[in-house]
Amino acid sequence: MLMMVVAGSPNAASAGQQSWVERAVHNIGEPINTMWTEGELSFAADGTMVYCSAREDFAVAPGDPRDLYIATFNPETGSWNTPVNMGIPVNAAPATAVDPLRLGDDREPWITADGNTIYFKSDRLATTEPRNNNDLFVTHKVDGVWTTPELMPAPISTDAGNEHCPAILQDGRTLCFASMRDGGYGGSDIWCSEQDADGTWQDPVNQGPNINTAAEEFHFSQDAAGTVYFTSGRPGGLGGMDIWAASNRGENEWGPAVNLGPQVNTSSADMCPALPPGAETITWFSSRSDNSFGSVDIFWTHKANLATASAR
């Protein structure tokens, strides 16, 4: 959908040349980004976007740190329609009287290509004892209404793993997520689980040393060519958290991770890549101060600007 903005630009360059629009990193703009923090996002095949925001004007309850929002793109105006808070029961209000860890923090939504299922992280069932900060949940759109989210039980959610950042790979049946469960390389690792014919999620598989390190890794987004983009705090980045890419070499096998380079990554935190429909653009959120609406914002650029483009 972001390509539609570029295609209609009066600054479009002649054939074979990149315009400044194509070379630039763009703030996704209003009405998505606000003075508050906007973060993790994903897209359905029709361009519908889900994301999280800390905006206070539309929060489901006072003091709610993050809610999930949904927005559609208007190709006639080349802009996003006004986002809608997904409301209760998709978003949970704070319930600290039940447990102090239940802050009402709902974030990291992943919408499936058909637009009918959203996976996300929530602290709505968090417990102080045993210590379990958050789990993964799923909601489905039935007759136009989103269902009450259901916990994704073990082997997906665990008490010790603090699972977060769910994402579905291009095959439509493999769920990847970050977890601190035993058997990893340190910090949050990326694990993937395949759903069998009965809909049962299989034991998750650690995605190995080309993806995971002793640092934090999370948010695994795959493009149609099989390349995955993810966040990592590994050495060799440009500062803070960076976005990296790795090529697919078979089931649960990936090539060496490559930093996306200075067009995307900065000395600030650059995280959680997502891929709009089509093959040309990539989005992420960042605390970079240039072209910011005042807090953490969502940005996008053409994939041709990535340091990995020539390597592929």
Which residue would you say has higher pLDDT here, 31 or 290? 31
d(CA 241, CA 224): 25
Residue that is written with structure tokens 């029709």 in the block: 46
pLDDT for residue 279: 86
Q: What is the domain partition of the chain in residue ranges?
A: 2-10+36-305
Residue 3 pLDDT class (50, 70, 90 cuts): very low
Structure tokens at 300: 């996008």
Lowest mean pLDDT, pick from 99-113, 196-210, 290-304: 290-304
> How many percent of the chain have pLDDT more than 90?
82
Three-state secondary structure call for residue 221? strand
pLDDT for residue 79: 87
Are 109 and 50 in contact, with CB atoms under 8 Å apart? yes
211: how many CB neighbours lie within 10 A of its CB? 27
CATH superfamily of 2-10+36-305: TolB, C-terminal domain (2.120.10.30)
pLDDT for residue 17: 66
pLDDT for residue 300: 96
pLDDT for residue 2: 55
d(CA 215, CA 11): 41
pLDDT for residue 309: 56
Average pLDDT over residues 182-198: 95
Residue type at position 100: P
pLDDT in tens, 55-76: 999 999 999 999 999 999 888 8
Residue 298 pLDDT class (50, 70, 90 cuts): very high
Structure tokens at 63: 């003091």
Buried b (16+ CB within 10 A) or exposed e, 268-303: bbbbbbbbbbeebbbbbbbbbeeebbeebbbbbbbb
pLDDT in tens, 259-274: 999 999 999 999 999 9
pLDDT for residue 6: 34
pLDDT in tens, 20-33: 678 899 999 999 99
Q: Residue 75: is the preceding peptide bond cis (ω within 30°)?
A: no
pTM: predicted TM-score of the whole model, two decimal places = 0.92
